[in-house]
Amino acid sequence: MLVLSRKPGEKLILGTSIVITVIEVQGENVKLGIEAPKEIPIYRLELLEAIKQANIEAAAQPTIDFKALTERLKKDKNL
């Protein structure tokens, strides 16, 4: 991991098309501005991890046997 010190208004360039600007520093909070081409997705890591966890939990849910459910509904309808 590369660790850099930057002051507000200073910039970093990633590759040739991504510019990160330090907008503001307040205590432990840093506000960054990111300029990148639209085809490059930018995500907050904690959101990606939350989505990944939600997908894992959803995949662990039992599957529905739609054929059996349909048959059950047909039988119940005839009662």
pTM of structure: 0.65
| Residue range 39-64: mean pLDDT, rounded | 90
Contact between residue 64 and residue 52 where contact means Cβ atoms under 8 Å apart: no
The C-alpha atoms of residue 31 and residue 78 are separated, in whole angstroms, by 64
C-beta neighbour count of 8 within 10 angstroms: 12
Average pLDDT in the chain: 91
| Residue range 7-31: mean pLDDT, rounded | 95
Cα 48 vs. chain centroid, distance in angstroms? 3
Whose structure tokens read 């939600």? Answer: 54
- Rg of the chain over all Cα atoms, to the nearest angstrom: 25
Tell me the CA distances in angstroms from 14 to 18, 36, 73, one per residue in order: 5, 9, 58
| Residue range 43-67: mean pLDDT, rounded | 89
What's the pLDDT band for 23 if we cut at 50, 70, 90? very high
